[in-house]
Structure 1
Amino acid sequence: MSKIVLASGNAGKVLEINELLSDHGIDVIPQTEFDVPEAVEDGLTFVENALKKARHAAKLTGLPAIADDSGIEVDALDKRPGIYSARYSGEGATDTKNYEKMLAELKDVSEEKRSARYWCVMVYLESENDPTPIITQGSLEGRILTAPKGDGGFGYDPIFWLPEQQCTAAELSMEEKNKISHRAIALNALARKLTSKMI
């Protein structure tokens, strides 16, 4: 079985990625199992940050690596917070502090102007110096509510309304979320490219 390191210690991500790739003889192992510290995410785009994380994990483990970088962009905030989504509210940022800051910034914005989307970029590197990484991306359209709703998910999910599903991302079951999420779309695209490369 081929082994790939995931540039994350997130158990949910590891499970999700393994479910998609295990049928293809690929075993995904979190970087925490190799005591790999977090990479410095100082890129200016999701692609740059994902590449930095994958290269860091590949360098320290000698294995091929997968990494993702994701965030939310809000049209009324000039596409912010984007790559800064996880630390939007500054030092000691938490999910709740982040979305409360967003709600405060949007308090005078009308419903029809609260459009937003989640983005995810996934990267695969065969080695630290791989000159041709596989890069895929996925997005999920929605809009920002005026107050949180639902207690599932994480990040901005409680204020991210999905018009088609008529609920917030925090009200979706994990199974439903894994079918439509920005990460699922990017990951499925990556899985297709990876498996065709390995055949």
Structure 2
Amino acid sequence: MSLDLPGPQAVRKLQPGRLVIASHNPGKVREIRALLGPYGVEPVSAAELDLPEPEETGTTFVANAELKARQAADLSGLPALADDSGLCVEALGGDPGIFSARWAGENKDFAEAMRRVHAALEAAGPDAPRDAHFICALALAWPDGHVEWFEGRVDGTLVWPPRGDKGFGYDPMFQMEGMGRTFGEIDPDNKHGISHRAKAFEQLVKAVF
């Protein structure tokens, strides 16, 4: 699934100070806080500021990341960073993709979401490939409307049953290429160095710090 990133734009540096993490997902907020730790910013989540969750009406990861970042920057008057990420399964035509969170339902039950992915693969037949990838798109927005975009991707395969109780989301069923363990089995500090989110943050760090 292509991110269809916008064309080149002038890079703006991010100054030390408060930065809104435009997410209500505690696991995602924890990962982003850890990744931002060394760079002199003071992360504050959208939930802590009582900012509403926007309807994700974009058709790509980057579009959804941008609308979340823009809303948080507009409402808070602070720079805001939003992540839109998901699991794309080759045999399912890229699903759940941008709907990854919605496959978990209103209660954000990712155990159920993983069962749905597994059931869809089973329905696709015994020879359906288990290839999948995670994509992360980051959008960094300022209150004046300036936005920067970054992306990361990791490829792997899906396992069943899920393994491990670390990470969040679909991590326990995703095994990255070259690894013998799922994202749910590895230490979060290790994941922070190799994940799709880490790869997107590498681009962000090079550009804005």
TM superposition score normalised by structure 1: 0.87
| Residue 136 (structure 2) aligns with | 120
Deviates more, 1:37-46 or 1:84-93: 84-93
Residues 1:155 and 2:169 aligned together: yes
Is 1:116–1:143's contact at 8 Å kept on the other side of the alignment?
A: yes
- The TM-score, its normalising length taken from structure 2, stands at 0.83
Q: What letter matches 1:104 in structure 2?
A: A
Distance 1:16 1:157, change over 3 A: closer
DSSP-derived class of the 2:48 partner: helix
Alignment of 1:61-72 (within 5 A): 61-72=76-87
Take 2:21 and 2:185, find their aligned partners in 1: how far apart are those partners?
Answer: 27
Aligned-partner Cα distance in 1 for 2:168–2:32:
18
How many angstroms does 1:54 deviate by?
Answer: 0.4
Q: Which has the larger share of helix? A: 1
Per the TM alignment, residue 37 of structure 1 is displaced from its structure 2 partner at its CA by: 1.3
1:102 deviates by: 0.8
2:24 and 2:142 map into 1 onto residues whose CA distance is 20
Q: Which runs of 5+ in 2 are unaligned?
A: 1-15
- Alpha carbons of 1:10 and 1:92: their partners in 2 closer, same or farther (altered >3 Å)? closer
Kept in 1: contact 2:70–2:142 (CA 8 A): no
Looking at both structures, which has the greater relative contact order when contacts are Cα pairs under 8 Å and sequence separation is at least 6? 2
For these two proteins, the number of residue pairs brought into alignment is 192
1:142 shift after superposition: 0.7
Instruction: Tell me if the contact between 1:64 and 1:124 (Cα under 8 Å) persists in the aligned partners.
Output: yes
Does the 8 Å contact 2:35/2:198 carry over to 1? no
1:110 corresponds in structure 2 to 127
- The aligned counterpart of 1:174 is 188
Q: Report the aligned-residue RMSD.
A: 2.0
The one-letter code matched in structure 2 to 1:123 is A
Asked if the contact 1:55/1:128 (under 8 Å) is kept, the reply is no
- Report what 2:115 is aligned to: 100
How far the C-alpha of 1:24 sits from its partner, in A, is 3.7
Q: CA deviation at 1:21?
A: 3.8
Query: Relative to structure 1, is the Cα distance of residues 162 and 42 closer, same or farther in structure 2, using a 3 angstrom cutoff?
Result: same
Task: After TM superposition, list the pairs within 5 Å mapping 1:1-199 onto structure 2.
Answer: 1-88=16-103, 90=105, 92-107=107-122, 108-110=125-127, 113-127=129-143, 129-130=145-146, 133-195=147-209
Q: CA deviation at 1:164?
A: 1.1
Give CA deviations for 1:8-27 in whole Å, capped at 9, x if unaligned.
24455445444444544322
List runs of 5+ in structure 1 lacking aligned partners. Answer: none
Which region of structure 1 is more displaced relative to structure 2, 11-20 or 151-160?
Answer: 11-20
Paired with 2:84 and 2:29, the residues of 1 have a C-alpha distance of: 14
Task: Go from structure 1 to structure 2 and tell me whether the alpha carbon gap of 1:21 and 1:89 turns closer, same or farther (over 3 Å shift).
Answer: closer
SS in 1 for 2:87: strand
Q: 1:167 to 1:20 in 2, by over 3 A?
A: closer
Which residue identity is paired with 2:79? P
